[in-house]
Amino acid sequence: MLVVGLMVVLTGYSVPAPNAGSESHRPAARGWSAPNADKANTRHVRGPINSRNVGSLTVAWSTPVQVPAPPERWPGVYATTPVVVGDTMYTQDLDSNVYSIELRTGKVRWTTKFNSPINGPNGVNVVDGRVHAATTSHAFALDARTGRQLWSRKLIRSDVEGINMTPGVDRGTVYVSTGPGNADAFFGGGGAGVLWALDARTGATKWKFNTVPLDLWGHPEMNSGGGVWFPPTYDSQGNVFIAVGNPAPFVGTDEYPWASSRPGPNLYTNSVVKLDRRTGEVMWHNQVLPHDLYDWDLQNSPVLTKVRGREVLIASGKMGYIFQMDPRTGKTLWKTPVGRHNGHDDDNLYALNGETDKLPQMPFEVFPGVLGGVISPIAVDRDTIYASVNNYGATWVTQAPPAEMAAFTEGTGELVALDLATGRIKWSHPLPASPYGAASVTNDLVFTTTFDGTLHAVNTRTGRTAWQAKLPAHTNSAVAIHDRYVLTGSGWPQGPGERAEIVAYELDRKGR
């Protein structure tokens, strides 16, 4: 279905003409060698797969995830984007185990086991012969050829913190973040997100940045927040752009309703922050959602690209907005709501300003919910942003979390395309189930996955389905596109006959 969406333009900014794309945006060369395809996080690659030959994609191989996968395990056993270096695919399951797999055959060359359950999103980053990844407590590096551990660093301060991200790697530095909440503790008091900059060769600390104050706004016994979900991006000088997660508790507690235990805007939650690569000092920040009430993280990797030769930064998150910012100053240039919203977008400001009479009476339903909005990374090509949007709500019955949520099978979503220059919505493609997999783009196709176990390819020009395939099980995994391969997984089996597998589709030789 084609739709025209709402766009908000901030005063004082001259909007370029529609469809004015980046003159120097260059997709990764036929390969998915980084967690989001490249260090700019565009999830955009060149290659032979397009709308004319996508119908000749067939399953080349599938490899079992080496972890028991009962349906009740949340959120499954595999939920990442693999990377490919040379003829080898590297990936990680939700027990933190790392796999080296021969791309052509699916043969497992080695597996390094950690057996450390993690909520994800996790994954690997392979640079200079080292596989960088993390368990819920440690960052580590492995030898890419053998899987032998090279170093390991414990980063969490207590069991109320965890690591739930794929590390970023740039100029000899590994960036990895702790955050509140892990496989054993859900946003317990005292959990503070810290971004660590580690030496890629040794794991030694170069610097660290507290994404929230360690006193946690005066109530560390109940408050927590911050941390980074996905890899940063970097400017030409190597300075670091991160997107920071939400504060907690959300919505609040009976004693401290509407998050009054954490007064103020709760910096640097729900912010894009630019950091000096040498010192970790803040160069600027842009908090798009102060005093978050509903777990509306600004969690996705920022994307650095260009419009008419001018660098811009694209941010997105669970609040259901996409933002364009000036990477030099942090100024918001435009913002666009995507997906379903039902009138609660300003509740955080009412609570922040003490206007409690404007806040809803419980129980009430909120869209986006805690697993809604733009929950996974976006893709950006020369002139368009692609976002998988989860129209999944949450009903708040009491102040204390968690919210009541519908069954995962009840969610729906949409794949939305926005003009890169203006934020105008070009089209929206309805999806029959929740799209927890990120968007990935090559040529005139954008790929994503939905929870019902469907792999989707949508035509970037028309917004219509170009191809679909059924995976071996329900999924919350993303898609990597490497040359003639489409790589994904079915990591959340929901019943008999479903299998947790890593799956490779290959373009038939006749389809090239």
Summarised one tens digit per residue, pLDDT across range 217-257 is: 999 999 999 999 999 999 999 999 999 999 999 999 999 99
Residues shown for the chain: 512
Percent of residues, the chain, with pLDDT higher than 70: 91
Retrieve residue 255's tokens.
Answer: 């004693």
Question: What separation in angstroms does the CA of 122 have from each of 39, 91, 349?
Answer: 17, 9, 32
- Spell out the residues 6+ positions from residue 490 whose beta carbon is closer than 8 angstroms to its own: 78, 453, 471, 472, 473, 474, 475, 477, 498, 499, 500, 501, 503
Q: Which pLDDT score, from 0 to 100, does residue 410 have?
A: 76
* Cβ–Cβ < 8 Å for 389, 338: yes
- Spell out the residues 6+ positions from residue 220 whose beta carbon is closer than 8 angstroms to its own: 189, 190, 214
- How many CA atoms, within 13 angstroms, populate the side-chain half-sphere of residue 23? 3
pLDDT tens digits, the chain, 512 residues: what are they?
Answer: 222 233 333 323 222 333 333 333 567 667 899 999 999 999 999 999 999 999 999 999 999 999 988 888 888 999 999 999 999 999 999 999 999 999 999 999 999 999 999 988 899 999 999 999 999 999 999 999 999 999 999 999 888 899 999 999 999 999 999 998 764 555 778 899 999 999 999 999 999 999 999 999 999 999 999 999 999 999 999 999 999 999 999 999 999 999 999 999 999 999 999 999 999 999 999 999 999 999 999 999 999 999 999 999 999 999 999 999 999 999 999 999 999 999 999 999 999 999 999 999 999 999 999 999 999 999 999 999 999 999 999 999 998 766 565 666 678 999 999 999 999 999 999 999 999 999 999 999 999 999 999 999 999 999 999 999 999 999 999 999 999 999 999 999 998 999 999 999 999 866 55
Q: Looking at the 3D structure of the chain, how many domains does it have?
A: 1
Q: Which pLDDT score, from 0 to 100, does residue 511 have?
A: 52
Identify the three-state secondary structure at position 350: helix
Identify the three-state secondary structure at position 126: strand
b or e along 176-210 (b: 16 or more beta carbons within 10 Å of the residue's beta carbon)?
bbbbbbbbebebbbbbbbbbbbbebeebeebbebe
Q: Which pLDDT score, from 0 to 100, does residue 189 have?
A: 87
Alpha-carbon distance 368 to 384, whole Å?
Answer: 23
Q: Find the CATH number of the domain harbouring 142.
A: 2.140.10.10
On whether residue 273 sits in a domain, the answer given is yes
On whether residue 2 sits in a domain, the answer given is no
What sign has the CA pseudo-torsion 338, 339, 342, 345?
negative
Alpha-carbon distance 508 to 512, whole Å?
Answer: 7
Rg (CA), the chain: 21
Count the Cβ atoms, other than its own, within 10 Å of residue 346: 12
Q: Which pLDDT score, from 0 to 100, does residue 304 have?
A: 98
Q: Which residue has the tokens 């965890």?
A: 162
Tell me which residue range forms the domain holding 79.
8-511
Summarised one tens digit per residue, pLDDT across range 404-460 is: 656 666 789 999 999 999 999 999 999 999 999 999 999 999 999 999 999 999 999
Q: Which pLDDT score, from 0 to 100, does residue 485 have?
A: 98
Alpha-carbon distance 490 to 162, whole Å?
Answer: 24
- How many CA atoms, within 13 angstroms, populate the side-chain half-sphere of residue 467? 19
Q: Which pLDDT score, from 0 to 100, does residue 13 have?
A: 29
Q: Which pLDDT score, from 0 to 100, does residue 7 have?
A: 32
Q: Which pLDDT score, from 0 to 100, does residue 72 have?
A: 84
Q: Which pLDDT score, from 0 to 100, does residue 365 have?
A: 95
* Cβ–Cβ < 8 Å for 408, 349: no
Q: Rounded to the nearest 10 degrees, how much is the dihedral formed by the CA atoms of 454, 336, 232, 229? A: -60
Question: What separation in angstroms does the CA of 427 have from each of 383, 419, 423?
Answer: 14, 10, 12
